[in-house]
Amino acid sequence: MTWSSKLFNVFRAIIGQSPNQETEQNNISDHPSESSSIGLNQLVSTLQHEHTQPIFELPKLPKPEQSDSLLIWAVDDEPVNLMVIETAMLNTGFQVRVFESATDVLFAIRNENVIPHLILADVMMPTMSGFELTEIIRISYAPNDLPIVIVSAKHRQEDIDQSKRVGANDFLKKPFARADLLTRVKSQLHSA
């Protein structure tokens, strides 16, 4: 997949169209060195023309009600990591929904008109990182409205600092103990 195809899929997810939908890209250049700004401008113009809502703004949905089963979304491009999170959350009163890409999360927020009580986001994913996902969500949702915990194997101080800069509520390093995951999730839900 070329860089412009990836970018186009990210924007389409943000505006509520499936990233996997077949689309014509208006001859956007696939080579960053060959007039990439013109290609990007064409992309943004095309997407803004199709939608009146600003591209990066997600629908402002009401904060989910506290109920018996709290909804947690986990996003990671590695299915085994998602399985670890699902297993760790068994019998805890949390309902877990998994996503294999950040664009799928944005697509769900925009098209399903639902937000979770909390998002667990991996950092290193293709197309869009957990940091980029957090930045986009923070345009529409404050940390208290939708807590985000970054979960990453990258745990240098600069990674932790970056998670704070983009608006994440907390940072959990992989591999993690089940007790640590549950403590972080419960802490964020009680402070939200």
**Calculated CA dihedral for residues 160, 161, 166, 171, nearest 10 degrees:** 20
Structure confidence at residue 27 as a pLDDT band (50, 70, 90): very low
- How far lies 22's CA from each of 5, 12, 25, 105, in Å? 11, 11, 9, 19
Cα–Cα distance, 71 to 53 (Å, whole number): 27
User: C-alpha angle with apex 148: 175 to 12, nearest 5 degrees?
Assistant: 105
Nearest to 125 by CA among 73, 171, 77, 75: 77
Q: Determine contact, residues 166/131, Cβ cutoff 8 Å.
A: yes
User: pLDDT tens across 48-100, in order?
Assistant: 555 444 455 676 766 666 665 799 999 999 999 999 999 999 888 899 999 99
The predicted pLDDT at position 3 comes to 47
Q: Is the pTM of this model over 0.75?
A: no
Q: Quote the tokens at residue 48.
A: 């803004």
Enclosing H/E stretch for 165: helix 157-166
> For domain 70-191, is the CATH number 3.30.200.20?
no
Cα–Cα distance, 98 to 85 (Å, whole number): 9
Report which of residues 95 and 12 the model is more confident about. Answer: 95
Structure confidence at residue 9 as a pLDDT band (50, 70, 90): low
Cα–Cα distance, 101 to 121 (Å, whole number): 9
- Domain residue ranges in the chain: 3-50, 70-191
Residue 149: beta bridge partners? Answer: 120, 170
User: pLDDT tens across 130-178, in order?
Assistant: 999 999 999 999 999 999 999 999 889 999 999 999 999 999 999 999 9
Largest CA distance in the chain: 54
Enclosing H/E stretch for 132: helix 130-140
Residue 122 buriedness (CB in 10 A; 0-12 / 13-18 / 19+): buried
